[in-house]
Amino acid sequence: MGTVAKIIAQRLGLGILTLFIVSIVIFTAVNMLPGDFAESILGQGATPEAVAAIRRDLGLDQSPVSRYFDWLGGAVRGDFGSSFAQANFASFTGSDSGSGLTSVAQQIAPRFANTMFLASVAAIIAVPLSLTLGVLAALFRNSVFDRVVNIATLSSISSPEFFLAYVLILVFAVLNPWLPSLSNIYEGMSFPERLEKTLLPALTLTLVVTAHMMRMTRAAIINLLASPYIEMARLKGLSPMRVILRHALPNALAPIVNVVALNLAYLITGVVVVEVVFVYPGIGQLFVDSVKIRDIPVVQACCLIFAAAYILLNLTADILSILSNPRLRHPR
């Protein structure tokens, strides 16, 4: 067990280092975006003095290094700063009308909860569907079913997300008005209504990620079907389905867990396009809106959350692969 704990500790340390490097890239890239928030708020007729005053009040006049470490220190504590877009600019002109700034964490929290709900619905549909299709495709290899499933999944993964989204809207909202085309989620909505409005974007994400998981499941099982112990199980008279479920599938868990975790990471980080198409009030939609108005703290927080989620799920996949594979637990 000591070896496993050491390997997991190494993976966690590598993940933290990766996130630190990514945070530097995020801060640098966001601050290189063209345009200036103060100038965009005040307009073309803004005086240099007014622009300088807003930049000073927002802390934009400090050096990039100082701003980075202030932001990173706050992010470690869960404080991503204050949103520029929600600023009460009367406070910048000497008015006593309030604090002037809204916490980024308060702005992101409900949006992140919506994104997690969308990703959870998509995962609940996609993971069992992918594993089932992968097992059946391996069981009926080279059959008509196998070819149809491969063609369908490859077609879905080869199509852009926005194209799949508009096709689903056309089929299930326009030609057959079964589901709403806009996912206008709001606080206090009942669960059935929330699920109904989330179903179309969840189906879009399902079509995108199903192919990867299905094909990996199929390939991993087919690769094991030529193993001696599988031949022995067949000689004992076990049914093909039992051979796959009881003998092949448990030994194929490592690559399957890896690809499932990677696709779950995509469900969280790859929702931007889908949320924009369906006007879904998640963190992806907030990210796009914040980029448009140069709300730097919100953009940085969204990018860091996406990166942290992706790295965390990759670490989870790595650790589960180690725990499920004795050869990785005892490297030589």
Contact 206, 164 (CB under 8 A): no
Contact 286, 107 (CB under 8 A): yes
Tell me: pLDDT of 97 over 50: no
Say yes or no: 176 and 303 in one domain.
yes
**How many domains does the chain fold into?**
2
- Check which CATH number belongs to the domain holding 263 and give it: 1.10.3720.10
Among 98-102, 144-148, 196-200, 293-297, whose mean pLDDT is lowest?
98-102
Q: Count the neighbouring beta carbons within 10 Å of the beta carbon of residue 237.
A: 7
Indicate the helix (H) or strand (E) that contains 33. none
Say yes or no: 147 and 177 in one domain.
yes
For the chain, the farthest-separated pair of C-alpha atoms sits apart, in whole angstroms, at: 86
Say yes or no: 64 and 192 in one domain.
no
Task: Give the contacts of 124 (CB within 8 A, at least 6 positions apart).
Answer: none
Helix axes 296-324, 2-31, angle to 10 degrees: 160
Say yes or no: 181 and 270 in one domain.
yes
Say yes or no: 45 and 182 in one domain.
no
Indicate the helix (H) or strand (E) that contains 103. strand 102-103
Q: What is the pLDDT of residues 106-137, one digit of tens each?
A: 888 889 889 999 999 999 999 899 988 988 88
Say yes or no: 216 and 179 in one domain.
yes
Say yes or no: 93 and 131 in one domain.
no
Say yes or no: 303 and 228 in one domain.
yes
Among 11-25, 89-103, 135-149, 218-232, whose mean pLDDT is lowest?
89-103
Tell me: pLDDT of 186 over 90: no
The residues facing 82 across adjacent strands are 103
The rounded distance, in Å, linking the Cα atoms of 198 and 194 is 6
Contact 153, 216 (CB under 8 A): no
Q: What residue numbers bound the domain in which 272 lies? A: 110-329
Tell me: pLDDT of 87 over 60: no
> Would you state the pLDDT for residue 42?
65
Amino acid at 76: V
Say yes or no: 292 and 262 in one domain.
yes
> Would you state the pLDDT for residue 330?
60
Say yes or no: 288 and 214 in one domain.
yes
DSSP state of 92: G
Q: What is the pLDDT of residues 46-84, one digit of tens each?
A: 677 777 777 777 777 788 888 888 888 888 888 887 777
